[in-house]
């Protein structure tokens, strides 16, 4: 599917202090209709009773085995809920949810060709949002603008996710670039990594349980919302199990990515979930065995760069660990 970004010049190299970050790797799946929230309540880890109150929350769609198939950020807009997710997941997510949506009063649409997503960051963010007719949203809320544009603050960071109709983007892009520097999409992913927020792409679909991605720490999992696909497995791990591995924030000592899995010596101990250039090195999120993370000596693949643990910006949940 063609993106509104296709015809526009995009920055290719990191720009320190970049305030505009085009996000062609993200798209929108919308659900419209009176039963959209009820439908998503029964299909995802997110408590959509909170979304109904106007909150913007992350979450996941799980398999029957309780593993994450698709991750998203849910943005409420009246009878429509927009699910922000990687473009390489949109078609599969629409097909998966569509199998069950036929029993509810909701319609699924992939609107990625009609709506562009843009990251707005830094001290110029308020001015740039105003240029687009958007107010500054508080954390976890959404502000509406003209022609269906909207903005939300991502987690607790001073950065904003903006949705613009394709025509608005085409008309305003040069003016925005004249007002502030633009950087590549990798800078957005690096900020997600620093925030400890893991996105599941097609390559990592159906590999990790929500707890292994630290989703409870981000309100992406509710343990009292009721049933959803995979809920029994997720709840059993919370109430009775021990978490053998979880998400860690890491930095590589080289700008060159490694190949393969995370190793301790010659032993595979984890999987990289996300990686992005960050300054002169690489920032990573990886699901690593807890014992190996405590012992250290991690590398990204055979002969790859050494990996150093970095602190996460949130407290970890109460699941027992091994």
- Residues 171, 250 share a domain: no
CA 54 centroid distance within chain: 19
- Residues 268, 185 share a domain: no
169 in a structural domain: yes
What is the model's pLDDT at position 154? 85
- Residues 268, 161 share a domain: no
CA 92 centroid distance within chain: 16
Measured in degrees and rounded to the nearest 5, phi and psi for residue 76 equal: -80, 140
- Residues 116, 185 share a domain: yes
Q: For residue 253, what is the domain's CATH number?
A: 2.40.30
Q: In what order do the strands lie in the sheet with 57-62?
A: 57-62, 68-77, 80-86, 26-32, 107-110
What percentage of the chain reaches a pLDDT higher than 90?
A: 81
Pairwise CA distance, residues 79 & 59, whole Å: 19
Question: Residue for token digits 């009246």?
Answer: 78
What is the model's pLDDT at position 259? 87
Q: What residues make up the domain containing 93?
A: 20-194
- Residues 182, 77 share a domain: yes
Last residue of a domain, one of 136, 160, 194: 194
- Residues 140, 32 share a domain: yes
DSSP state of 44: B
- Lookup: tokens for 206: 């159906």
The total domain count for the chain is 2
What is the model's pLDDT at position 9? 80
119 in a structural domain: yes
Last residue of a domain, one of 194, 226, 254: 194
- Residues 304, 160 share a domain: no
What is the model's pLDDT at position 258? 87
Last residue of a domain, one of 174, 194, 214: 194
What is the model's pLDDT at position 254? 84
Tell me if 63 sits within 8 A of 132, measured CB to CB: no
Tell me if 290 sits within 8 A of 271, measured CB to CB: no
- Residues 151, 83 share a domain: yes
31 in a structural domain: yes
What is the model's pLDDT at position 13? 81
What is the model's pLDDT at position 268? 97
Nearest to 53 by CA among 31, 74, 28, 72: 74
301 in a structural domain: yes
Contacts from 74-77 at CB under 8 Å and sequence distance 24+?
74/40, 74/44, 74/46, 74/48, 75/142, 75/150, 75/152, 75/163, 76/37, 76/51, 76/52, 76/142, 77/142, 77/144, 77/150
Measured in degrees and rounded to the nearest 5, phi and psi for residue 2 equal: -70, 135
Please report which residue ranges of the chain form alpha helices under DSSP H. 36-41, 48-52, 87-101, 125-131, 166-179, 186-194, 231-239, 290-295
73 in a structural domain: yes
What is the model's pLDDT at position 1? 63
Question: Residue for token digits 């992939």?
Answer: 110
- Residues 74, 150 share a domain: yes
What is the model's pLDDT at position 255? 84
Which residue stretches of the chain have pLDDT < 50? Answer: none
C-alpha torsion sign, points 44, 215, 90, 174: positive
- Residues 276, 174 share a domain: no
> Residues 6 or more apart from 149 whose CB is under 8 A from it?
132, 133, 134, 162, 163, 164, 165, 168
167 in a structural domain: yes
- Encode pLDDT of 191-233 as tens digits: 999 999 999 999 999 999 999 999 999 999 999 999 999 999 9
237 in a structural domain: no
Tell me if 242 sits within 8 A of 236, measured CB to CB: no
- Lookup: tokens for 44: 């995802």
149 in a structural domain: yes
Give the burial class of 23: count Cβ atoms within 10 A of its Cβ; 0-12 exposed, 13-18 middle, 19 or more buried.
buried
- Residues 94, 188 share a domain: yes
What is the model's pLDDT at position 155? 83
**148: helix, coil or strand?**
helix
- Residues 283, 179 share a domain: no
Give the burial class of 171: count Cβ atoms within 10 A of its Cβ; 0-12 exposed, 13-18 middle, 19 or more buried.
exposed
What is the model's pLDDT at position 320? 62
Q: For residue 115, what is the domain's CATH number?
A: 3.30.1360.120
């Amino acid at each position: 599917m063609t993106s509104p970004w296709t015809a526009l010049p995009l920055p290719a190299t990191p720009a320190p202090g970049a305030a505009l970050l085009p996000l062609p790797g993200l798209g929108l799946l919308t659900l419209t209709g009176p039963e959209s929230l009820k439908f998503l309540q029964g299909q995802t880890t997110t408590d959509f009773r909170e979304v109904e109150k106007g909150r913007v929350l992350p979450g996941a769609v799980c398999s029957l085995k309780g593993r994450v198939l698709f991750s998203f950020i849910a943005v409420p807009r009246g009878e429509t809920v927009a699910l922000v997710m990687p473009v390489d997941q949109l078609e599969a997510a629409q097909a998966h949810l569509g199998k069950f949506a036929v029993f509810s009063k909701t319609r699924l649409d992939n609107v990625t060709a009609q709506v562009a997503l843009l990251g707005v960051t830094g001290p110029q963010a308020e001015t740039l949002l105003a240029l687009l007719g958007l107010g500054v949203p508080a954390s976890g809320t959404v502000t509406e603008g003209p022609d269906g544009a909207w903005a939300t603050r991502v987690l607790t960071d001073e950065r904003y996710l903006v949705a613009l109709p394709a025509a608005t983007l085409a008309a305003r892009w040069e003016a925005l670039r004249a007002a502030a520097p633009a950087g590549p999409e990798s800078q957005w992913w690096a900020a997600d990594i620093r925030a400890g927020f893991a996105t599941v792409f097609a390559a990592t679909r159906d590999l990790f349980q929500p707890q292994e991605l630290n989703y409870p720490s981000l309100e992406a999992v509710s343990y009292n919302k009721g049933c959803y696909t995979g809920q029994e497995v997720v709840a059993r791990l919370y109430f009775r199990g021990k978490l053998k591995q979880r998400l860690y924030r890491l930095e590589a000592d080289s700008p060159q990515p490694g190949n393969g899995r995370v190793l301790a010596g010659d032993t595979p101990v984890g999987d990289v979930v996300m990686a992005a250039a960050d300054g002169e090195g690489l920032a990573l999120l990886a699901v690593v065995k807890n014992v190996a993370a405590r012992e250290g000596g991690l590398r990204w693949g055979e002969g790859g760069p050494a990996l150093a643990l970095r602190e996460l910006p949130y407290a970890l949940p109460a699941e027992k660990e091994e």
